[in-house]
Amino acid sequence: MMRSHFLRPLPLALAALLACSPGAFADDERDHDRGGDHHGARPPSHGHGKPIDWAGTAYRKGVVAVANPYGAEAGARMLERGGNAVDAAVAIAYALNVVEPQSAGIGGGGFMMVHLAKSGRTFAIDTREKAPAAATPDMFVGVTRPDLNGVAVGVPGMVRGTALALRRWGHLPLHKVIEPAIDLADTGFAATPRYTAVSCNNGGRSTNSPEAAAFFCPGGVPAPVGQVVQNKPLAETLRLIARHGPDCFYKFMPEKGCDIAQGIVEGQKFNRPQVAGGKGGSMTLADLEAYQPALREPTVGTYRGYTIKAMSPPSSGGLTMLQILKMLERFPIGDAAAGYGFGSLKTANVMAEAMRIAFADRSQWMGDADFVPVPGKGLLDATYLGARGAVIVPGTRITPNPVAGDPRPYDVAGTKPATRLAVAEPVTGPGETTTHFSVVDKWGNMVTYTNTIESSHGIGVFAGYTRPDGSFRNHGFLLNNELTDFNTTPSVNPYTGGPGFNDVQPAKRPRSSMTPAMIFTPDGRPLVAYGSPGGSTIINSVLNVTLNLIDHKMTLQDAIKAPRISVTSAGSAISLEAGIPQATIDGLLALGYTVATTEIGSVQAVVLDPKTGLQFGAADARREGTVIGLPR
Ligand code: GLU
């Protein structure tokens, strides 16, 4: 599926590939000359809150910020053809399946948060994968490396979720929006540095099945950077979806040529026979046919006068991030004169403590609210959080480790008497997978969308099946291993003895950390749409950027570039990115923390200035972040 000649004229985004250096979108005079509007260093303040300073090149006709140049190009094209932010977002999601197949695609799911300019409504389309009907809480017990086995495959959600988004809020038909992805799969794209770097190197997943190994890592060698990569089987799958609609993915309809569902069901039977303890999945055609996306209200809170909306359950992202923010609000985070300010010991110390407390709550109280009574109101209740955060004392590290509180008395909606609690915390990696992108269109609609197949390359198995003649019918897209986001060992609630909120149940969605989020002015106008990949560190990446904007007054690009700090459970080390001052690290060690240096997240953000209507974008150099603003 790969061709060895290099850089023939590509159908998309050679220009975007060249533009993918992060310096290309900050203060870019070239775009200014062509219709972009340079906005100067200090934008006006918004409402009565403290101003956020985004600076950079301003646009009026739409901006996309994507972790891959080809994905960005696909989105920009939709906006140029009259599409809105929803059309662009769906085009990006499909294109990324081709060019960033390790991160996300039609074999997985995610959360697409939308703000509609006209109605002022903000909501999320939950395309998160579901457990099959025959799934059981103990289905992972005794399985070696669940991430490599079919038992981890959830019923994929992207195709129906994005089709719903287009039907209800898009301007363009599905077949137009999928076009860039079909083009990329059919005629190819030049392997990007990141594609090459991860193709043979990701915990054995890209080589888990013979078909994936042959595609990503033939002979143990990845496609070199710049080599044209084609995926004809995926092009054919996408054409089927474009022609027949989402049902062609979810229903086995051989009379129409729709055999994708069979490929998913057969693919997830993969049990890695070469390893003892392998286990295939139980998904059936009926599970696929039954899948439906959900529309959800985001979780809402405030921070220093700004309103923040972020993904609600089954994600833990919105609740956990807002808990941390509320616990931090009493500290003068932005005030260097008071010993705080960016990167200081005091700031890192209180951030780490608030994270430890919130993640203790997360492990007990968050899961799929369609199945368990998540006490969302209690978790964000001011009195509850006041008490939880009162134990944060700058200059100290809480010992023993914080444990979950009991927010139920503060939960206005109340909970059922037999409340079930989670204990176990699935371990997620630093973020080689998953992808986040953000879009604003010329009408002021905004989308912030995190999409995933969980681990990099999912389970490393393409949807597909063996035909009667023995040949392999390959559908060209990877199956997720999202169900590893459940507790992989059934857990016991220390209070009631009942099962955990995030234990496996049939048709339940595993708890996520994905945190697509938006910041609104104090008077309710949308300002920033942003998010990140990175497993449970997602919550903290989004939090870091929020503090950088609101407290540290960084520009949007600097807020994304600045080194991050993350703790994802009450007892774990502080992860720090290179660039945090050594004095701060020494101070943290002296307080009793353990620290580890690592890379955290990949944030893509767009801004809409409510006063001027000007639009900005920024993307993350940690991956291949690309911003395209219009007109270009
Ligand atoms: N599956 C993870 C979640 O939903 C995201 C994976 C990642 O970002 O690495 O929280």
pLDDT digits (tens, 9 = 90+) for 162-189: 999 999 999 999 999 999 999 999 999 9
The span from the CA of 423 to the CA of 511, in Å, is: 13
> Closest Cα to residue 224, out of 501, 518, 448, 6?
6
What residue type is 398 in one-letter code? I
* Any atom of ligand 1 within 6 Å of the Cβ of 451: no
Q: What is the dihedral of CA 133, 487, 531, 610, to 10 degrees?
A: 70
What residue type is 403 in one-letter code? V
Q: Residue 594 above 80 pLDDT?
A: yes
Q: pLDDT band at 274, cuts 50/70/90?
A: low
Number of the ligand 1 atom closest to the C-alpha atom of 433: 9
CB 253 within 8 A of CB 452: no
* 632 Cα: distance to centroid of ligand 1 (angstroms): 33
Q: Residue 100 above 90 pLDDT?
A: yes
* Any atom of ligand 1 within 6 Å of the Cβ of 433: yes
Please say if 207 is a catalytic residue: no
The pLDDT assigned to 420 comes to 27
Q: Which residue has the least CA distance to atom 1 on ligand 1?
A: 454
* Any atom of ligand 1 within 6 Å of the Cβ of 428: yes
* Any atom of ligand 1 within 6 Å of the Cβ of 313: no
Q: Which residue has the least CA distance to atom 9 on ligand 1?
A: 535
Question: Which residues, 6 or more positions from 17, have their beta carbon under 8 angstroms from its beta carbon?
Answer: 69, 70, 190, 192
**Top-confidence residue, 623 or 31:** 623
Number of the ligand 1 atom closest to the C-alpha atom of 537: 8
pTM, two decimal places? 0.91
Q: Which residue has the least CA distance to atom 7 on ligand 1?
A: 535
* Any atom of ligand 1 within 6 Å of the Cβ of 542: no
Encoding tokens for residue 29? 């005079």
* Any atom of ligand 1 within 6 Å of the Cβ of 301: no
Average pLDDT estimate for 427-431: 40
Q: Residue 427 above 50 pLDDT?
A: no
The pLDDT assigned to 202 comes to 73
Of 158, 316, 513, the one to substitute when testing ligand 1's pocket (max ligand atoms within 8 A of C-beta) is 513
Q: Residue 31 above 80 pLDDT?
A: no
Average pLDDT estimate for 608-622: 94
Q: Which residue has the least CA distance to atom 4 on ligand 1?
A: 512
| Residue tagged active-site, from 320, 428, 434, 515 | 434
CB 610 within 8 A of CB 446: no
Average pLDDT, the chain: 88
The pLDDT assigned to 201 comes to 79
The pLDDT assigned to 22 comes to 28
The pLDDT assigned to 413 comes to 54
> Closest Cα to residue 318, out of 329, 307, 304?
307
The pLDDT assigned to 104 comes to 98
| pLDDT digit string, tens, across residues 550-563 | 999 999 999 999 99
The pLDDT assigned to 56 comes to 82
Average pLDDT estimate for 138-155: 94
**Top-confidence residue, 13 or 184:** 184
* 145 Cα: distance to centroid of ligand 1 (angstroms): 17
* 482 Cα: distance to centroid of ligand 1 (angstroms): 8
The pLDDT assigned to 383 comes to 97
The pLDDT assigned to 46 comes to 36
Of 126, 153, 433, the one to substitute when testing ligand 1's pocket (max ligand atoms within 8 A of C-beta) is 433
Element holding 299 (H helix, E strand): strand 299-303
Q: What is the CA radius of gyration of the chain?
A: 23
Encoding tokens for residue 410? 């503060």
The span from the CA of 34 to the CA of 31, in Å, is: 5
Task: Identify the residue whose tokens are 């690592």.
Answer: 598
Which range is least confidently modeled, 149-158, 385-394, 486-495, 595-604?
Answer: 486-495
| pLDDT digit string, tens, across residues 222-249 | 999 999 999 999 999 999 999 999 999 9
Q: Pairing state of beta strands 472-478 and 189-190? A: unpaired
| pLDDT digit string, tens, across residues 495-544 | 656 789 999 999 999 999 999 999 999 999 999 999 999 999 999 999 99
